[in-house]
Amino acid sequence: MSGNEEFGSCLYKDAKAPIEDRVKDLLSRMSLKEKVAQMTQMERTTVTPHYLKDVGVGSVLNVGGSAPFERALSSDWADMIDGFQRLALKSRLGIPIIYGSDAVHGNNNVYGATIFPHNIGLGATRDADLMQRIGAATALEVRASGIHYTFAPCVAVCRDPRWGRSYESYSEDTDIVRKMTSIITGLQGKPPEGHPNGYPFVAGRKNVVACAKHFVGDGGTEKGLNEGNTVLSFEDLEMIHMAPYFDCIANGVATIMASYSSWNGRQLHADHFLLTKVLKDKLDFKGFVISDWEGLERLSKPFGSNYQRSISAAINAGIDMVMVGYKHDRFLEDLVFLAESGEIPMSRINDAVERILRVKFVAGLFEYPFADRSLLDVVGCKPHRELSREAVRKSLVLLKNGKDPSKPFLPLDKNARRILVVGTHADDLGYQCGGWTIAWHGISGRITIGTTILDAIREAVGEKTEVIYEKHPSPSTLANLDFSYAIVAVGESPYAEFTGDNSELVIPFNGTDVINSVAERIPTLAILISGRPLVVEPWLLEKIDGLVAAWLPGTEAQGITDVIFGDCDFSGQLPVTWFRSVQQLPMNPRENSYDPLFPLGFGMTYKKPNSFN
């Protein structure tokens, strides 16, 4: 007899019963320790059968780069997660785990998945329908791997490109970010008319639980410091940074993640006013609030000290589920003690667990806890890669086209006799994809299945066109003037979070010198692969013939060649201001002193040169 057979006829197991009745029935059967366990999210490498079957933890996640093994496929992930689930279902009450992962631009931790452009590029598209379709495709590939829950989308409004997470933001403009929240209706499905505002919604087994993050103000910190301090009035915080959450909640987003950052010196993970009074009470959010990774440890200095006090502050502030990092035993013990002592009221514990169970019931985990293996064929399928290719096309922003406005340099002649391709980013899939791809901070090389810029160029040009590629062009090659034109692809190496904080924003790997050395001798198109604007000196801009901001396009670089060779027109518009120098930062288009290299919204097309789209 399994540990949960005696509950086989209970109301909470009745799929036809109202969700709120099921939540209340299950909650009434739970001990304090079982409730606290549901509030616990453990990293997959720390999970043992004891925690799943005997303790009954509520959730498991993998941090970026944490995989079953190198190059594990979706089926391997499904095997691992289903194994966790089988153990969880043997717990006393048989409550399934919800497994979470940072699938922030496709199911980016999984080898062979379709990797879409990062958010900054998608913000350049201004295309809400495209976002919905990307969300739906991502949901299918995530569910194929057995994952139920993605920590996406990031709806930060990035006001300073020095921030290391700037590419996770769709735009510096709140209205653009709000438009892009349509990805939630792709990930979770579109709520039916009349669906209660604030109540979580997940359409079915082909959808995933989404997470709007990071609440709130993470993109507005002083000097763009990651985990920094956002200094604003509540009115400005609400108008600029909170507004996208109105749309997320209206679309039935099931979870919201608290920010590492602070608001006027108050750490968000312990801000009762914002997490409870505003988010839960005023905005009527009925899903659960989750901490960020080791977010509680950050509430004390030195890091991780006064842990029990940090738990009390975070849970009382309104955190429902905690990414405990590696302190799961301490967290479970301390939270039980705090509840038994009354420092954390049982009403707060019950509220947190109700919210977690509500999301699990809404997501259908009690009825369908295991991976849907019929979805495995969609992972990296042609339609999804074509969708990513479309997203790349629409994300590209043309910043310069010819030294003479009457003589455009683009589109390039794909039947040219001989062309030169150079640069650190011309043939590096990892650089194209950026951070949060296979590894947490990203990594160089052929890290997954996809097409590099060089691959795409070779595929696009005519049979008689000779393509010469040198990552670092030699003097003898540059001395050869027998090239029709050159394509130089340079940009940033991958980064994530604080590893990307950057106060200089120059093109790495001597990118400016590489572009200059080529452009001095050969008509040159420069393609910047980056998660934000970088410094482009005026003299360099004058010297090159064409400049394209390609952001972090992901695995399908054919989208770049579709446009630079003229099969499709440019349509992307800058989602952020392109500054002249870092001394201007932060910049605000509404200020009289606004003097950018290229303004927010700029983007040329073949049909409308030197103008806004």
Non-local (6+) Cβ contacts of 236 within 8 A are: none
**Six-digit token string for 462:** 């005519």
Going by C-alpha positions, the residue among 512, 504, 507, 499 that lies closest to residue 529 is 507
Query: Are residues 275 and 216 in contact, defined by beta-carbon separation less than 8 angstroms?
Result: no
Let me know if 340 is exposed, middle or buried by CB neighbors in 10 A (0-12, 13-18, 19+): exposed
Q: Report the 10 Å Cβ neighbour count for 465.
A: 17
Let me know if 231 is exposed, middle or buried by CB neighbors in 10 A (0-12, 13-18, 19+): middle
Q: State the alpha helices, DSSP H only, in 425-534.
A: 429-433, 453-460, 475-479, 511-519
Cα 524 to Cα 545: distance, rounded to the nearest angstrom: 5
Sign of the Cα pseudo-torsion (445, 529, 499, 214, in order): negative
Cα 280 to Cα 276: distance, rounded to the nearest angstrom: 5
Non-local (6+) Cβ contacts of 345 within 8 A are: none
* Whole-angstrom Cα Rg for the chain: 25
Q: Is 292 a catalytic residue?
A: yes
Q: Is 504 a catalytic residue?
A: no
Residue 25's φ and ψ, nearest 5 degrees, are: -65, -45
Query: Are residues 509 and 515 in contact, defined by beta-carbon separation less than 8 angstroms?
Result: no
Choosing from 34, 292, 545, 556, which is the catalytic residue?
A: 292
Helix, strand, coil shares of the chain, percent, nearest 5, are 40, 15, 50
Choosing from 497, 501, 545, 556, which is the catalytic residue?
A: 497
Query: Are residues 184 and 127 in contact, defined by beta-carbon separation less than 8 angstroms?
Result: no
Residue 362's φ and ψ, nearest 5 degrees, are: -60, -40
Sign of the Cα pseudo-torsion (445, 446, 451, 454, in order): positive
Cα 172 to Cα 156: distance, rounded to the nearest angstrom: 8
Catalytic residue numbers, as ranges: 292, 497
